Chains A and B, each alone.
Chain A
Amino acid sequence: MTAGDAESEPESGSDAPAEAEGSADQSAIDRLVEGVLAGEHRALARTITKIENRAPGYRDLVAALHAHTGNADVLGVTGSPGAGKSTLVDKLAKAYRDHGLTVGVIAIDPASPYTGGAVLGDRIRMASNVGDMDVFFRSMSARGTLGGLSTATTDAVTALDAFGKDKVIVETVGAGQNEIDIVRTADTVAVLVPPGSGDDVQMLKAGILEIADLFVVNKADLEGADRTVQELREMLHMGSGTSTGGHHAASTNVAGSTRERNPDEDDAESAEWDPRIVETVANTGEGVDDLVEALEAHREYLVASGELDRQARERYAAEIRTLLREDVHELLAEEIDNRGGLDAAVDRVVARETDPYTVADEVIAPVADCVRKRRDGD
């Protein structure tokens, strides 16, 4: 296997074969990049696999693709399990396809913390787009830890963007910081709230409520949907403190009431975005058009306000920081290995001879010295 070869090369100490190995890898990467840019499904699928596996060379791969990105609208969809995310994403993808747009979907499901295994079931719901290869649907398991998953998601979005998808949808269960980080890779975030989740809505307050650009009350045909819409609206108003008087009058027609707000966007240059509430029944496709319209409106706001560029800059900064954190983490892992692991240090900590802070200082000191020396020297 190439990974094994690549890892054993440096130990063999002979430069020539290592170079040959490197160039072989490079040509494989080049072929993948070419394939992705030429619209080959297999190449895209393999690229995402490399990204997920962090296979050798995946960094070069993503780096080469970056220049070809920036054209896709990225949408994040999140919500509690069973809220209807996959079904709605399916209908949304269909609606985009009907408009002649191509779609990429990344659906993230949890992985077992014990075995690392996972059953990825979101694909079952993609019933409206079967046999349509212009909807590229990819299931990913949350196998990564410590921000690894959000890195993989960002990179997979890069691949789909470079492939030429017009819309990229990232779908994930909305529980915990990890998921919030993931949906933040999106330009627009839609949070699904099923009816009758009054208490859930309360819990959503912190975190997810703040990142939502629009709320989708799915299963709007169920009892309690009106109340959920009402609760959401009250919460939004409490949060923003803005007066949007027209809403209570139009509580039976949410899509209509959101449209009424459009005049406010005359001063869109400076105006803040008020999260919209859309009612849908994903099973039947009801309300999906309203959702598409609301998403487009948010897109227009992002462009008009300059928020899109600002978000992109912020995202790239965050991405760079994450990569650096991971790299430094690796570097430290190497240093710890070099010192023969942490066992000896832990023994001393347990025996109260030293403490965790001191040990951390000891490990980081040579690295820090090295960096400072280099900075001053050069």
Chain B
Amino acid sequence: MNVEALEDDRHHRFVLNMGPQHPSTHGVLRVLLELEGEYAMHLLPVLGYGHRCHEKIAEHKPAKSFMPNTARMDYLGALIYNQGYAQLLEKAAGIEVPQRAEYIRVITAELNRIQSHLLWYGAYLLDLGAFTPIMFAFDDREHILDILEDVTGSRLTYCYHRVGGVSKDIDDKFVSRTRAFIERLRSRYPMYEDLVNGNIILQNRLNNIGELTPELCARYGVTGPLLRGTGVAYDIRRSEPYSVYPEFEFEIPTETKGDCMASFLVRYRELEQSLRIIEQALDKLPEGDFMAAKVPKKLKLPAGDYNSSVEAPRGELSYYLVSGGSDVPYRLKVRTPSYSNLSTVPETCSGMLLSDVVSAMGSLDLVIPEIDR
């Protein structure tokens, strides 16, 4: 169908609200669609339904006690959000973290990343009309939640990484269960590949849809698997190495086309890279303390501004803290990846078939609470 010809025919246009409770938006996001038949000519995301004033809260209590809030922004990457915030305060206050704690952080954060990717994998395919994969993905994901529940005490909104280390040491049971999980997930690859990745319907729904370019990503600040899908091997774990990531060998999966299929494959291949990191970390796991000996109860942050960036499952997460010298931050800004990733939608999705809009928005792997904060 010729979309240009329809462009003039404005009296056929109508506006449709997708959301705030639409299943494929995975949270309370509303998108105003101006439709021309089945084509979405203009899109306008409407945000803020889940705004919980995290940045305002941060300015009103000691910096240390903001840790549980971080997990509630991106509930799927909670441990990575914990890690970024812990690092920020450690940087500012000059606290040394024991090696064992850093290893535990990396292991749990990577488990968290796999869990997030598995949920995306299932939910994305569900959006596209395939019901079965989410059952398999959730089955695998449950194992991670069980492992993490044992050591952290919660299944979703973790508060496990603390300033100076982690709240509880891992034991042999954790190690053996994690090793068993690595085996298990690897044994599932052939099934996933047969069932999903080679599926012709999936190919047709994802190929050449929602193409991004490195140039567009720079203008919008798109990061994470979407940027890597355009051929840019940019990963904060590699470019600004934090924690003990430099000690592990892992690849940064990239694709070149920048479409939905590219980011799909990048995320899928990242599962294996995270497993590799966990495996190496378990092999090298040093003995020692899991918490720094001296963490002051009242954590005074010297005046100045501090930034801490980590690679969250959806892209770059940045905490920026301005301190006036007390233990309460003067200003805390959280840069969340989904926010910048979603802001591309009005440009990239205009003129698309409505069903392709669902493909393209699903490939952004949105978590709405981190957008609204």
Report if A and B associate in a common complex. no
Q: Chain A: residues with CB nearer than 8 A to chain B?
A: none
